[in-house]
Amino acid sequence: MSANSSGGQPVLEMAGVTKDFGSGEALVKALDNVDFSAHPSEVAVVMGPSGSGKTTFLTIAGALMRPTTGTVVVSGIEVTHLPEAQLSEVRRRRVGFVFQSFNLLEALTGLENVQLVMQAEGLSARHAIERAKALLEIFGVGHRRDHPPKHLSGGEKQRVAIARALANNPDLLLADEPTANLDSTRGREVLQLLRVIARDLGKAVIIVSHDLRVREVADRLLWLEDGQFRPLPPI
Amino acid sequence: MVSIARKNLFAEKMRFAMSVSGVGFSVFLITLLLSLFRGWNDRVGSFVEHVPVDIWVAREGTTDFLRPISVLPQEIAGELRALEGVDSVHPLVVIPTGFEWEGKAVETHLVGYDTTGSAGGPLEIVEGKPVPSEGEMVIDKALSKMYGPNIGDVLEHSGQSFEVVGLASGGNFVATQVSFMPIESARRLLGVEELTTFYLVMVDDQHEPVVVAERIEENLTGVSAFTGEDFADTTRDRTLRDVIPILIIILILAFVVGAAVTGLMIYTATVEKAREFGILRAVGFSNGYLYRVVIEQSLITGLVGFTGGVILNVVVGRFAEDLVPQFVILVRWTDVAAVLGVTLAMSALAALLPVRRLAGIDPVTVFKA
């Protein structure tokens, strides 16, 4: 089954993507001939049971892993056969990641976590700090910017992580179980934030989640099972 | 700029302190050994180098000041004076001797010199009478510090008594110290009235010491002639050559310990931060950037440890000789610069293993909760 959306130039295009792990009798097809596309300003939610291939899908979409077969195009760049150095560049410039366990650097403050990725892109320290402050203000954690992650609540950490993901103004935002470590109120807030990011900032947002609340912000809801997109089961 | 290396290091203060201590101790050990070697090298040859004579004449086979096998007949003095270029000749007696003071043995290299001239006498008097008379002696201040006798004390040898009338400096050979008395007293003390260990030769203004030394060896049989500088060098060489291999081994061990401590600490820190390095790779940082972070951590640790180690060495050097006379330290800034190079090499080496570990980090692991 194809999982392509229509309208506008796609930010992400995956065509005939297969990912195999192991070989022979131990071969596991984590993704099996998957087609997928995502467009600006939309939120695509990928759900599915454990082991369905959701994480593999996200890592290939985010240019962290190469598919066994098929092609992946991010913001018009075919990344399938790019060398690692250029893949890093694509991830840094074109893709933002939001993780289940926030994945902030513990030794840095919230501000520095956001600032750092901009510095890697060559932005001057002054501009990076200004932009990081602005992003943290927008996401409601400006007053907590000088605290290290261990002094932030789960919701605050996820907001800092979202600010970091958007620091280099990527076209594509990939969120892996972004509400898994949050209570229901904070989880809803984060989902609404992702919705706003897609709608107001024109980003393509892909959320992989088990959380049924995620449906509330989805423009498209997809079901991944045994490495293939399948019709949505009754939930 | 945000420096992850600095942030990581200072976030783990205890680990950083331990790493720096390891490097600092290693640097301290390396600089201390080098400074000790320099200090010994300086002291061992210093007395010979600074005795105001041009040529040392000894029995053939004598190689250094501290182990003279030299008993020279008195007629050699006349033969030396007769040679072209020789201005004056002064006999000197040098022999390792033990005295007794307050029931304790005081070991020294006794120097008997012609007190009517200055050749072979104390280089500098720091306290007391500059020239000893019959029944008197001048001892080096390092000997006084080591064994205890001071001005006014009486040292005994074979029933003869010698009062300490002066303290001198410049006669500390580290392993031994020199004491001075008139040559006649020294001969009488040793029971050999004709004894002469060395003849000290002054050369006139028209001749080069090297040329006169060669002339002495050509014209007199059974003697060796050294310029002051050569004799100082052979004394240094003979005294320190047995110590150098030991110093080199300890230097290598200190380097290995320093590299191992830094390497282990940086490696442990890298392994503990593997997830964070994975995050950095996931969000688009190149391997090269991550390597730089680890190398920067290692270099910062190395440089802070180096600074601590060198400061400790300078502080220890300032007080060590006052406490232990053999602990003669001479810090040369060229050596410090060399140790800085060694520290940087040590730090780079320590970063190798963690860098290899980094190369194996899979950024996909950051998706695991």
- Looking at the structure, tell me whether residues B14 and B105 fall in a common domain: no
Verify that B75 and B192 share a domain, yes or no.
yes
Domain check: are B267 and B321 in the same one? yes
**Chain-wide mean pLDDT for chain A?**
91
Q: Is A188 on the interface with B (CB under 8 A)?
A: no
Residues B32 and B68 in one domain: no
Q: What is the DSSP string of A94-159?
A: HEEEE-TT----TTS-HHHHHHHHHHHTT--HHHHHHHHHHHHHHTT-GGGTTS-GGGS-HHHHHH
Q: What pTM does this model have?
A: 0.74
ipTM of the complex: 0.88
CB nearest to B367's CB, from A107, A116, A176: A176
Is residue B141 assigned to a domain?
yes
Q: Do A89 and B285 touch (CB under 8 A)?
A: no
Residues B213, B93 within the same domain: yes
B-chain residues within 8 Å CB-CB of A59?
Answer: 364, 367
Q: Measure the CA–CA gap between A185 and B34, rounded to whole angstroms.
A: 67
Q: Where are the domains of chain A?
A: 2-230
Cβ–Cβ contacts within 10 Å for residue A149, how many? 19
Report the residue from A64, A120, A165 with minimal CB separation from B289.
A120
Q: Return the residue in A105, A164, A210 with the most chain B beta carbons within 10 A, the one to mutate for interface testing.
A: A105
- Total number of domains constituting chain B: 2
User: What tokens appear for B145 in the block?
Assistant: 């510090």
Q: Which of residues 58-97 of A touch B (CB under 8 A)?
A: 58-59, 62, 64-65, 84-85, 88-93, 95, 97
Torsion-angle region of residue A28: left (phi > 0), alpha (psi -120 to 50) or beta? beta
Q: What percent of chain A has pLDDT over 70?
A: 96
Asked whether residue B234 is assigned to any structural domain, the reply reads no
Judged by DSSP in three states, A4 sits in coil
> Which one of B187, B221, B255 terminates a domain?
B221
Considering only residues B179 and A1, tell me which one the structure prediction assigns the higher pLDDT: B179
The answer to whether residues B200 and B277 belong to one domain is no
Distance, CA of B300 to CA of A131 (rounded, Å): 29
State the pLDDT at residue A7. 58
Amino acid A65 reads M
pLDDT, one tens digit per residue, over A153-165 is 999 999 999 999 9
Q: Inspect the interface and report whether the beta carbons of B284 and A95 lie closer than 8 Å.
A: yes
pLDDT tops 60 at residue A6: no
Q: B281 contacts in A (CB within 8 Å)?
A: 88
Q: Are residues B304 and B192 both part of a single domain?
A: no
Whether residue A168 is predicted with pLDDT greater than 90 in this model: the reply is yes
What gap in Å lies between CA B17 and CA B266, rounded to an integer? 12
**CA angle A34–A32–B363, rounded 5-degree value:** 85
Contacts of A12 (CB under 8 A, 6+ apart): A36, A37, A38, A61, A72, A73, A74, A172, A204, A206
**Looking at residue B342, what is its pLDDT?**
86
Q: Could you say which of B221, B251, B269 is where a domain stops?
A: B221
Give DSSP secondary structure letters for B275-322.
HHHHHHHHTT--HHHHHHHHHHHHHHHHHHHHHHHHHHHHHHHHHHHH
Q: Residues A190-199: pLDDT tens digits?
A: 999 999 999 9
Chain B environment of A95 (Cβ under 8 Å): 284
Considering the domain boundaries, does residue B50 fall inside one? no
Instruction: Write the pLDDT tens digit of every residue in A52-78.
Output: 999 999 999 999 999 999 999 999 999
Q: What's the domain range around B174?
A: 61-221
B282 and A97: CB-CB below 8 Å? yes
Q: Is B206 helix (H, G, I), strand (E, B) or coil?
A: coil
CA distance A145 to chain B (A): 14
- The minimum CA-CA distance between A86 and chain B, rounded to whole Å, is 9
- Phi and psi of B45, rounded to 5°? -95, -10
Contacts of B15 in chain A (CB under 8 A): none
- Helix or strand or coil: residue B242? coil
**pLDDT tens, per residue, chain B with 369 residues:** 788 889 888 888 888 898 888 889 888 988 888 888 888 888 888 888 888 899 999 998 888 888 877 788 888 999 999 999 999 999 999 989 999 999 999 999 999 999 987 688 899 999 999 999 999 999 999 999 989 999 999 999 988 999 999 999 988 888 889 999 999 999 988 887 778 899 999 999 999 999 999 999 999 988 999 999 999 998 888 888 877 888 888 888 888 887 788 788 778 877 888 888 889 999 989 888 889 998 998 899 999 999 999 999 888 888 877 787 778 888 888 989 998 998 888 888 888 888 888 888 888 888 776
Interface test with B, best of A91, A94, A103 (most B CBs within 10 A): A103
Domain at A2-230, CATH from 3.40.50.300, 3.40.50.2300, 3.40.1640.10, 2.40.10.10: 3.40.50.300
CB-CB contact of A49 with A12 (8 Å) = no
Question: Using CA atoms, how far apart are residues A108 and A151, in angstroms rounded to an integer?
Answer: 11
Residue B34 lies inside a defined structural domain of this protein:
yes
Instruction: Please give the C-alpha separations between residue A183 and each of A140, A194, B213, B336, in angstroms, as whole numbers.
Output: 17, 16, 96, 59
Query: pLDDT at position A64, please?
Result: 92
Contact A64/B285, CB-based, under 8 Å?
no
Q: What is the largest CA-CA distance in chain A?
A: 56
Q: A122-142 pLDDT, tens per residue?
A: 889 999 999 999 999 999 999
Report the candidate in B8, B3, B2, B19 with the shortest Cα–Cα distance to residue B274.
B8
Q: At what angle do helices B13-50 and B333-359 cross, to 10 degrees?
A: 150
| Closest-CA residue of chain A to B5 | A107
- pLDDT value at residue B120: 86
For residue B83, the SS3 value is coil
Nearest to B283 among A91, A125, A180 (CB): A91
User: Quick one: B301 and B273 in the same domain?
Assistant: yes
Give the domain-ending residue among B154, B186, B221.
Answer: B221
- Compare all CA atoms of chain A with the CA of B281 and give the residue at the minimum distance: A88
d(CA A108, CA B269): 16
C-alpha angle A103-A109-A110 in degrees, rounded to nearest 5: 65
Q: Which residue of chain A has the CA closest to B362?
A: A64
Per-residue pLDDT of A179-214, as tens digits, reads 988 888 888 999 999 999 999 999 999 999 988 889
A116 touches chain B (CB under 8 A): yes
Q: Judge if B344 and B258 occupy the same domain.
A: yes
Nearest residue to B310 (alpha-carbon basis) of B277, B332, B279, B326: B332
pLDDT at A194: 92
Q: Are residues B132 and B265 in the same domain?
A: no
In whole angstroms, what is the distance from residue B46 CA to residue A138 CA? 75
